Amino acid sequence: MSNPIIFNEDQLDCLGELMNISYGSATAAISEILNSFATLNIPSIKIFEASKIKEYLNDNSIQNQEQYIASQILNGGISGENIFLIDIISAKNLALEFGLEENEINNNELSDIVLEITNILSSATIGRLASDLETTVSFEPPTIQKIDSFDKLDDKYMKDYEQVIVISTILEFEDQKIKAQLILLTIDSSILWLRDSIDKILEDL
């Protein structure tokens, strides 16, 4: 295990503000599609060993029921994964907002909608962050799993990373009863790159 990567208070504050702007773009993109207003929450930022991801998700996830977990690999200046978590009821409400009838809603349709939303959120969130940090990021097609416990989460999340920076926010459309969570995981080299980029921003202030 390499030495833990540490961000000081100013670096964390700066990253939080950048993510706030990125999540603002993502929320606006979805609220435009749903023609609705979402509550924007303050992002939470944590850096820890990748082996603790399941523990983190169990302790911090807003979901406690069957849910979809869609993830999209990111390559470039910001490398890692963008994860979108949504419970089944919220996913069904999302499907209804997209114009599906109750009798049309099935696992395939829900997966399709969640994947589409993941695409939109990833490009809005990471696209904005990459632009603010003057880098480029490419996206692989998102994949999806339906799970009823984080203990059943694919172990790739622990195998592929040593440390992770987890940036999480809750997306909430109260009128439509839709609540979801966005989590960004980045690999060690990207964490260091992010920290250097943030230092450059801070130097200019």
Contact residues for other proteins (CB under 8 A)?
10, 13-14, 16-17, 20-25, 27-28, 31-32, 36-38, 40-42, 132, 201-202, 205
Least separation, in Å, of the C-beta of 31 and other proteins?
Answer: 5
Least separation, in Å, of the C-beta of 146 and other proteins?
Answer: 30
The torsion defined by the Cα of 108, 153, 171 and 71, in degrees rounded to 10, comes to -70
Q: Whose Cβ is closer to other proteins: residue 32's or residue 140's?
A: 32
Least separation, in Å, of the C-beta of 25 and other proteins?
Answer: 7
Q: Whose Cβ is closer to other proteins: residue 14's or residue 69's?
A: 14
Least separation, in Å, of the C-beta of 197 and other proteins?
Answer: 13
Distance CA 156, CA 145 (A): 13
Q: Whose Cβ is closer to other proteins: residue 17's or residue 162's?
A: 17
Task: Determine the Cα angle at 16 with ends 11 and 19, to 5°.
Answer: 125
Distance CA 77, CA 99 (A): 37
Q: Whose Cβ is closer to other proteins: residue 37's or residue 60's?
A: 37
Least separation, in Å, of the C-beta of 114 and other proteins?
Answer: 21
Backbone angles phi, psi at 37, to 5 degrees: -110, 130
Distance CA 135, CA 127 (A): 9
Q: Which of 158, 197, 202 is nearest to 53 (CA)?
A: 158
* Three-class DSSP category at 138: strand
Q: Whose Cβ is closer to other proteins: residue 1's or residue 205's?
A: 205
- Which residues share a beta bridge with 45? 167
